[in-house]
């Protein structure tokens, strides 16, 4: 027969492991969402790059007020912002996951498992915030693309006399 304290410790450890498993599943779902959001942001940046190239080809000397050139500059800045956001998102996932995996390998007590679960939940919260920021950045790209199309149509449309 085991002493009562040992039975209690084993029960605490089982509970902590269950909590860690739940946190790990939540983190995995957040990582998948972050990867999806990074891909969408990359696609928005690629679309901005295509519109930017189209602007550069078509404008030539037909930009008397400099609006298209300014729009091209804004698209280029968005592309840089998107690349930075994607890199930051991926780095956050890698660093957070690596640290958590190291701690999980060394986890022995219930407290260790609960601390690891807390770290996983914190990483999940950070990933959710990063996804929201990426979504806002993507919405900004949609506005930029819409403005670019309007400027391009206005500048490149045949002039009526």
Q: What is the pLDDT of residue 155?
A: 65
Report the SS3 class of residue 7.
helix
Euclidean distance between CA atoms 63 and 69, whole angstroms: 7
Give the tens place of pLDDT for each residue, 36-83: 877 888 888 788 778 777 777 776 656 666 776 777 777 778 777 888
Would you say 64 and 154 are in contact if contact means Cβ atoms under 8 Å apart? no
In a domain, 158, yes or no: no
Flag residues of the chain having pLDDT under 50: 160-161
In a domain, 157, yes or no: no
Q: What is the pLDDT of residue 29?
A: 76
- When divided into structural domains, the chain yields a total of 1
Report the SS3 class of residue 3.
coil
Q: What is the pLDDT of residue 62?
A: 65
In a domain, 70, yes or no: yes
Q: What is the pLDDT of residue 64?
A: 63
In a domain, 102, yes or no: yes
pTM of the model: 0.58
Q: What is the pLDDT of residue 161?
A: 42
């Amino acid at each position: 027969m085991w002493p009562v304290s040992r039975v209690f410790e084993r029960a605490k450890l089982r509970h902590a492991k269950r909590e860690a498993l739940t946190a790990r599943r939540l983190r995995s779902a957040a990582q998948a969402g972050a990867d999806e959001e990074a891909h969408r942001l990359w696609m928005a940046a690629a679309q901005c790059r295509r519109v930017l190239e189209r602007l550069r080809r078509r404008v030539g000397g037909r930009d008397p007020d400099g609006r298209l050139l300014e729009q091209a500059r804004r698209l280029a800045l968005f592309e840089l912002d998107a690349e930075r956001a994607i890199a930051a998102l991926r780095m956050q996932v890698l660093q957070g996951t690596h640290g958590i995996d190291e701690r999980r390998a060394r986890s022995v007590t219930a407290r260790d498992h609960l601390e690891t679960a807390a770290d996983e939940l914190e990483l999940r919260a950070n990933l959710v915030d990063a996804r929201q920021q990426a979504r806002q950045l993507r919405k900004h790209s949609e506005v930029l693309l819409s403005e670019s199309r309007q400027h391009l149509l206005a500048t490149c449309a045949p002039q009526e006399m």
